[in-house]
Each structure stands twice: as structure tokens, then as C-alpha cells.
Amino acid sequence: MSTDVPIPALGESVTEATVGEWLKQPGDAVELDEPIVSLETDKVAIEVNAPVAGVLAEQLAQEGDEVEVGAIIARLDEGGTASAKVAAPTASTPEPDREDKTEIAKAETMGKGDMATTDQPLSPAVTRLLAEHNLDPNGIKGTGKGGRLLKEDVQRAISSGSAKKSGGDAAKTSAPAPAPAAATVAGPGRNEERKRISRLRKTIASRLKEAQNTAAMLTTFNDVDMTAVMEARNRYKETFEKKHGVRLGFMSFFTKACALALKDVPSVNAMIDGDEIVYRDYADIGIAVSSPGGLVVPILKDADKLTFAETEKSIGDFGRRARDGELKLEELQGGTFTISNGGVFGSLLSTPILNTPQSGVLGMHRIEDRPVAINGEVVIRPMMYLALSYDHRLIDGREAVTFLVRVKEAIEDPTRLVLDL
């Protein structure tokens, strides 16, 4: 019995997606709810799961194709038996050339070891990933059925740094990418490579340009002495982690400080909607995090009502799932204000761009010891530059500076965060 696999609903206002990577190939056995293909939308990458158990009979779209919600992307044979080799290629599943077959065959020899199941073949996606990163599957534990090595297992090992390099012939060979980029030669030893822009990157570029074109953006700066926060963190981090199961970081302090400042300066938490200004009595703060496809901004709903522990757990969870491509579309929608921490990458100073239609974004930067004058004496303190970019159509300079000063005061005297001052 044949079962169609449609493109599921992708969220509000999302009507189409791009086929990112086929996780299963024709002839592969598929379990119920097992991912068979990944899709790229305007906001996040998602996976399409198998509606039934069986065998993938046909792929109806190639990697890179645009597909609409509701379109049939694959067909499954319920109760079918997996074949030892991939089905004959069709127009939608081009056959690799002889050189590619040789490279894939070499890479597949890497999949025989203690931890990777030897009686089950590695999928092409896993094979390519192992070859691209020159990894030994023997050191990666498979979590698939019967211990089969999955793509997620390899990605997890790469992210954690636990993956081991291969020492065999495969180390000298890299398998071709699913959609090879066009390479051109600019001269002896000067190669160029062209890669198709992902849907997510296109959307990021469009939104950033839209912010520049529509908002009257201006940035104001201040610096903050991190001494008090660092001392509080060092004093309580072990107790905090034992009690709540999460490490105490700086982001929870800044998130709470911004939530407090948004109450004092409501225009920074507002937005322009046509001829009206929309003010909010809640703080849904976006936390910019990195993902393989680019920067994404999951939303911390009701951040002003969360505890430090709840804030840290949510931010840590956002970061992990962004790296694994597991964020949900609804988690990326909305938001009244954004915090971006370029300091984790070593940034000293920047002018962040608004995440429209929001009216403000706070940029954090690296902490470094600098000489400052305190009570008439020059001392060395751990200092951080803060940058607030805002829409000058709605927020006056006085309000922007007041907001930034409120954040500075709360960070330099964290007791304010507890007393709501």
C-alpha cells in the first residue's frame, strides 16, 4: 500500500519551503515518525516525519527545490522491505557519476566498527557527513533502530567535540555535497566557489535591509562595570547549578535588567503600526542565537515574570535547539525587544540593527579590564560596552539614554533586580 507524504503546515504566513536534505533514500526502511527530509523555511529548518512505517519508495522533489504547503514530497510503501541498494534513479533522484560512486563507496567503509552497527548500511547523509569531516564512526554511538548511526548522532558528536578523526583511506577522500556548488577558476591556485543562498539567509538579508529602509535608526552607547555581577555569579554559581540544574550566566542578569528598564521606558517596548503606536504591558524579549543557517531570534515570552533559573534554562535550551535545527516556528514569532550578545565572539563594539517591527535592540560586548576613575582614583575594572539601537521615529534620545542608564544601574547594583528598582 502506497502512502503519500505531504508538506505539513509550516506556521502562520509560511506557505512554502526549500528542500534542504533528504535524510532517507529510495529503498531505505523508515519507522513511524522518523524524519525523512529536512526543509528550510523563512525562519527555521524543520523535518518532515514519516506518517507510517515502511520503505521510502519515491522522492518527488530534489534538494534545493521550492515546495508549497500540502504538496506531496514523497511516497512510502507500507510494510515494504528495505532493499540492499537504492532504487533505480528517476528524474528527481539523479544518479551520481562514477567518480562520486567511488568516493561514496570509500566513505562507506568507514561505517564498520564497534559502535556503528555493522549489519546495517549507513545512509548517504551520514556517509557524506562522516567523509566531509573525516570522522571515524567507531567513536560515535548510534541511536537509531538496532544501534544504527543517524545524521543527528554525527552532528551531536561534532558539536560536542567528541568525534574522532578517521585514520583510514577515507581521510584522504571527501564525499560530494548533496548539491555540489559550482566552482570556477580565477587563476592558478585561485579557485572560487558558488553556493546557493539559503531561504533563511535571504530572509535575514531582507529583514535587515527593511529595517534600514523603514526605521530612523540611531545608536547610543554606554559602558557598564561588571564587577558586582561577576562577584555575585562567582559567589552563587555552584549553589545555583546544584539547585536548578543550570549554570548561572550573564544573560539572565541582562534580560532581567532590560525587562525592568522596559517598564520604566515603555516607548522602547512599543512599535509603530501604521498611524498608531502600540504599547505593551508585557516583555517578550528575543535572544539572538547562532544556528548553522544564520542568526535566529527565539522569543522569551513574559521575560519580566521569569525567575533567573527559568531565564537561564530557556536561553540554554534555545541555543542547543538552534544548533540542532529544532526550534519551532512559533518560538521565533513576535517579540517586543531583542538582546544580541556579540561579546561571545569577541566583539568590542557594534551598532546592532533592529529586528523589525521592534523599536529597540541591545547589543552586549566582550568584558575586558580597563582603567576607570572611581572616587578620584584610577582603578582597573571589568568593563563592557553597551549599545542601544532604536527607532528615532518613536523613541527620543532622552528616552534611549534613560533606558540604557537603567540597564547600567541594574547591572552595577544587582540588588535593584530583586527589589524591582
Last residue in a domain, options 152, 172, 192: 172
Structural domain includes residue 187: no
In this predicted structure, the answer to whether residue 327 has a pLDDT above a threshold of 70 is: yes
Owning domain of residue 116: 2-172
Cα separation, 184 vs 82, in Å, equals 40
pLDDT digits (tens, 9 = 90+) for 1-16: 778 888 877 665 567 7
Q: Is residue 178 part of a domain?
A: no
- Domain end (from 128, 153, 172): 172
Answer for the pair 234, 226: CB distance below 8 angstroms, yes or no: no
Do 91 and 217 reside in the same domain of the chain?
no
Q: DSSP characters for 330-380?
A: GGGS--SEEEEEGGGGT-S---PPP-TT-SEEEEE---EEEEEEETTEEEE
Active site residues: 392, 396
Residue 286 and residue 328 in one domain: yes
Bigger pLDDT: 207 vs 108: 207
For 285-321, how does the pLDDT look when each residue is reduced to its tens digit (9 = 90+)? 999 887 776 678 889 999 989 989 999 999 888 888 8
> What is the domain-level CATH number for residue 207?
3.30.559.10
If you average pLDDT over residues 157-186, what whole number do you get? 57
Residue reference for cell 541594574: 410
Contact of 336 with 354, CB cutoff 8 Å:
no
Has residue 182 been placed in a domain? no
Q: What is the CA radius of gyration of the chain?
A: 25
Give the mean pLDDT of the chain.
Answer: 79
DSSP bridge partners of 339: 287, 362
| 42, three cell numbers | 523563512
Contact 213/226 with Cβ under 8 angstroms? Answer: no
Read off the pLDDT of residues 331-370 as tens digits, 9 standing for 90 and up.
Answer: 888 899 999 998 888 899 999 988 888 999 999 999 999 9
Residue identified by cell 561579546 is 343
Model confidence, pTM: 0.59
**Does a structural domain hold residue 186?**
no
Please report, for the domain that includes residue 160, its CATH number.
2.40.50.100
Check whether residue 44 and residue 159 sit in a common domain: yes
Average pLDDT over residues 92-110: 45
Strand partners, 40: 18, 45
Give pLDDT, residue 197: 74
- What's the pLDDT at 345? 87
Q: How far is CA 382 from CA 223, 231, 339, 371, 375, in A?
A: 10, 11, 20, 9, 17
**Cα angle at 195 between 189 and 199, to 5 degrees?**
160
pLDDT at 123: 57
Q: How many domains does the chain have?
A: 2
C-alpha–C-alpha distance, residues 233 and 252, integer Å: 11
Residues 66 and 143 occupy one common structural domain:
yes
Is 340 in the same domain as 239? Answer: yes
Q: Is residue 327 part of a domain?
A: yes
Residue 402's pLDDT band, with cuts at 50, 70 and 90, is very high
Same domain, 273 and 149: no
Query: Is 189 part of a structural domain of the chain?
Result: no
With bands split at pLDDT 50, 70 and 90, how would you rate the model's confidence at 177? Answer: very low
**Residue 91 and residue 27: Cα distance in Å, rounded?**
16
At residue 174, the pLDDT reads: 41
Which carries the bigger pLDDT value, residue 251 or residue 328? 251
Going by pLDDT thresholds of 50, 70 and 90, the confidence category of residue 401 is very high
Residue 171 burial (10 A CB sphere; 0-12, 13-18, 19+): middle
What does the alpha-carbon distance between residue 278 and residue 269 come to, in Å, rounded to a whole number?
Answer: 9
Residue 247 has pLDDT above 50, yes or no: yes
Q: Kindly tell me if the per-residue pLDDT of 103 is higher than 70.
A: no
CA distance 191 to 183: 7
Q: Is the same domain home to 204 and 333?
A: yes
Strand order across the 2-6 sheet: 2-6, 72-78, 54-59, 29-30
CA angle 134/136/138 to nearest 5° reads: 170
